Structure 1
Amino acid sequence: MILLTGFEPFGDQEVNPSWAAALRARDILRSEGHKVEALELPCVFGEAATVLLDAVKTLTPDVVLCAGLAGGRDRVSLERVAINCDDARIPDNKGQRPIDQEVVPGGPAAYFSTLPIKAALRNLQIAGIKGEVSQSAGTYVCNHVFYALMNALSGKAGVRAGFVHLPFLPEQVPAGSLTASMPLESMAAGIAVVVRTAVQAPVDGPRDSRVPIPR
């Protein structure tokens, strides 16, 4: 079982490409015989994590790939690290704006993705899709969900999970703007590449997904 997630629109955007791409990737993967579910998450601190973790508990997926929007980036960003920090530049969709709060009180400082991100990057490049390994998922709801997911799966062998950020859709960028964008089909194909890699390849190397708090 594969679980894909994207977010509802937030801020001043009327569409969130992460949800559209997750739906399209679901259809691509289903056409290849994979069992896949897609879930739209609210862009709300706390609530988003609850919705995701309830789905993980119900579906017991082998692969979980969450996606979110990182407007201004020009490629599929494979996030390496989720940090235990909520620090919002803008309010979420319910007006919450946490500042320097822990996602999980007393939890580890950070978690690594358990997706084979370097193998996935290589496969993105082979497929002609722009990609990168990103060292920061930010501190907004995307990172909140990423951290909550990895914390819930910590110590559970056999489940590969992580997060990708996606660019704007071309239609979200004003005419004449130099802001980067990516077609929906490329985003969806990129998600499908990452999922196939997670299904077929081992993680990049043996390690504990937790990053210890420095002492």
Structure 2
Amino acid sequence: MANKKVIVTGFEPFGEHAVNSSWVAVQELERLGLDEAVELYVCEVPVEYQAVQRLLPSLWKEHQPKLVVHVGVSGLATTVTLEQCGHNKGYKRLDNCSFCPASQCCMENGPDCINSVLDMDAVCKSITDSDIGVTVSVSKDAGRYLCDYTYYMSLYLGHGRSAFVHVPPLGKPYSSQDLGRALQAIVQEMLKMLELDRSEDEHKHSKHCSHENQHQHDH
């Protein structure tokens, strides 16, 4: 029985991206796997605001994942880019159904920006040091389209236990195998960090805290 569940999503094709490298990379990650203690669930997300609104709550609720990592393509990216935060406002671009939210935001009255609990600079440094042959960088602007929208919703639903990775289009410069390998290293590093945080928290609590429900301190 796997004791950790991780969900990794890619997006369907849209616009000039007839093949979406994010979903290709996620399928490659699925083929590679993580480690045997981790249950990996992958899915392809429609490039539609309303579909994302329906899909994300069910992903978080049904699977109760430890971590959700969303992967998207950026035509501007030349590196594999770790996004630190998701934004609530500024959604003016039409989706694959020619729809955009009338409010131009994800959640009425939601915070403007939500940060991941993961320190993307630390993840980036660790991956760079491991020298996997793929350049990784960090960004604080996921682009105000379906990527950013999905990330914000996921961060909100998962209390920050979410991550977003932008990948370049295939061959610019990385192959699907390169991207799959990079995702594998990134997700493993993120899981390691979450474990570390948890053991430090538990250590702190064991010293200072006699409450029962100790595991609820992070909500």
Tell me the TM-score normalized by structure 2. Answer: 0.80
Change (3 A) 1:114 1:97: same
Change (3 A) 1:12 1:195: same
- The alignment status of 1:15 with 2:19, answered yes or no, reads yes
Q: Distance in 1 between matches of 2:182 and 2:83?
A: 14
Structure 1 residue 141 displacement after superposition: 0.6
Runs (5+) with no aligned partner, structure 1: 171-179, 210-215
1:213 corresponds to? none
Paired letter, 1:181 = P
1:35 corresponds to? 39
Q: Distance in 2 between matches of 1:129 and 1:116?
A: 19
1:168 corresponds to? 169
Q: Distance in 1 between matches of 2:194 and 2:64?
A: 19
Counterpart pick for 2:88 among 81, 84, 89: 84
Given that 1:120 and 1:193 are in contact with CA atoms closer than 8 Å, whether structure 2 keeps it comes out as no
What's the secondary structure of 2:15's corresponding residue?
Answer: coil
Given that 2:92 and 2:104 are in contact with CA atoms closer than 8 Å, whether structure 1 keeps it comes out as no
Quote the sequence identity (%): 26
Change (3 A) 1:27 1:49: farther
Q: Distance in 2 between matches of 1:204 and 1:106?
A: 33
| Superimposed CA distance per residue, residues 100-125 of structure 1 (whole angstroms, 9 cap, x where no aligned partner) | 61200000111001223223212321
What's the secondary structure of 2:75's corresponding residue?
Answer: coil
- The alignment status of 1:112 with 2:115, answered yes or no, reads yes
Change (3 A) 1:204 1:46: farther
- The alignment status of 1:142 with 2:123, answered yes or no, reads no
Counterpart pick for 1:124 among 116, 123, 127: 127
1:5 corresponds to? 9
1:96 corresponds to? 99
Q: Distance in 2 between matches of 1:113 and 1:187?
A: 22
Larger helix proportion, structure 1 or 2? 2
Change (3 A) 1:203 1:85: farther
1:177 corresponds to? none
1:53 corresponds to? 57
Given that 1:116 and 1:203 are in contact with CA atoms closer than 8 Å, whether structure 2 keeps it comes out as no
Q: CA RMSD in A?
A: 2.5
Structure 1 residue 28 displacement after superposition: 1.5
1:65 corresponds to? 69
Runs (5+) with no aligned partner, structure 2: 201-217
After TM superposition, which residue ranges in structure 1, 4 or more long, deviate above 3 angstroms? 97-100, 202-206
Change (3 A) 1:134 1:104: same
Given that 1:77 and 1:133 are in contact with CA atoms closer than 8 Å, whether structure 2 keeps it comes out as yes
| Superimposed CA distance per residue, residues 37-75 of structure 1 (whole angstroms, 9 cap, x where no aligned partner) | 001000001212321221121111101100101112111
Change (3 A) 1:11 1:108: same
Choose 1 or 2 for highest CA Rg: 2
Q: How many residues matched?
A: 194
Structure 1 residue 203 displacement after superposition: 8.7
Structure 1 residue 200 displacement after superposition: 1.1
